Chain A
């Protein structure tokens, strides 16, 4: 059974870079039938897709965040990562990583437990 676990700092200063890692266990990140995604949720608000990466390193991002987001993958460690630059208070949220099923449609299952990242001034 695939499980995902987010890790990284819970506090980031405004204007700096948020960096998170998701570790996949119980399955291979190199499984060609899946991709890997980051999704965030500000407190009390809805879900926002951030981006998706394939094990080859090919990635695509939300248009609203594209200029600040970079995702990467480390197949040797079964991990993928998120970098979000120039953060502001609006980036304070719980960040989830999830496995993304690609065909015939797209959905997310399972999800990590989430990590709260607070941007401080």
Chain B
């Protein structure tokens, strides 16, 4: 089955840029979603269709997907961005959705 690999943790100073990766062979051929989950809260969709931001998601948050890696980029990181981030695709070979293992973003 499809396995999405994310780094367990990413740390960044306020004001800097955080990049969170989601890897798998030819993930660029799939459509990737990203969710933000703050402590004690439900996941929130922040990127759909590789790079589309739902209404209300700041422009500082962007997504890209090419080759074997999808990337969630958060520019001008703020303390409020500290959260777990999950990537997700549809695995057409098994006909079900798959989540990555999640990345904890720490703002130093």
Contact = CB atoms under 8 A, between A and B. Distances in A.
Interface of A: 37, 46-49, 60, 62-63, 96, 100-101, 104-114
Interface residues of B, number: 25
A113 B42 contact: yes
B48 interface: yes
Interface stretch (B11-19, B75-83, B98-106): B98-106
A105 B45 contact: no
A104 B32 CA distance: 12
A106 to B, nearest CB: 4
A61 B16 CA distance: 41
Contacts of A60: 95-96
Contacts of A62: 96
A104 B92 CA distance: 13
B42 A112 contact: yes
A46 B101 contact: yes
